């Protein structure tokens, strides 16, 4: 392995897994908030649970078609 590939690959785990981790934490936080809280908690749960759907839709629209 060359030094250029080694330095570029090291320390990049946050760039690769950061987005899915944030989406997962939002989803996991939105589920109990939806069950336990009313008012502002309801709005947070809607946003948290709609985030994966919005991201998937955005990725589907922006994908390159042959």
Residue 52's closest CA among 16, 28, 33?
28
Q: Which has the higher per-residue pLDDT, 26 or 64?
A: 26
Number of separate domains in the chain? 1
Q: Do 30 and 52 form a contact (C-beta atoms < 8 A)?
A: no
> Does any domain span residue 3?
no
So what's the pLDDT on residue 1? 52
Domain residues for the domain of 23 are 15-62
So what's the pLDDT on residue 6? 55
Q: CA-CA distance, 66 to 43, in Å (whole number)?
A: 39
> Does any domain span residue 6?
no
Which region, left, alpha or beta, applies to residue 10 given φ > 0 means left and ψ of -120 to 50 means alpha?
Answer: beta
Prediction pTM value: 0.69
Q: Which has the higher per-residue pLDDT, 64 or 6?
A: 64
> Does any domain span residue 9?
no
| Model confidence pLDDT, tens digit, residues 12-49 | 888 889 999 999 999 999 999 999 999 889 999 999 99
> Does any domain span residue 5?
no
Q: pLDDT category, 64, cuts 50, 70, 90?
A: confident
> Does any domain span residue 24?
yes
């Amino acid at each position: 392995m060359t030094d250029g590939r080694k330095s570029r690959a090291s320390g990049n785990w946050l760039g690769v897994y950061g987005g899915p981790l944030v989406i997962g934490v939002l989803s996991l936080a939105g589920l109990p908030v939806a069950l336990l809280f009313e008012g502002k908690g309801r709005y947070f749960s809607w946003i948290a649970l709609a985030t994966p759907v919005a991201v998937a839709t955005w990725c589907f629209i922006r994908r390159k078609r042959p």
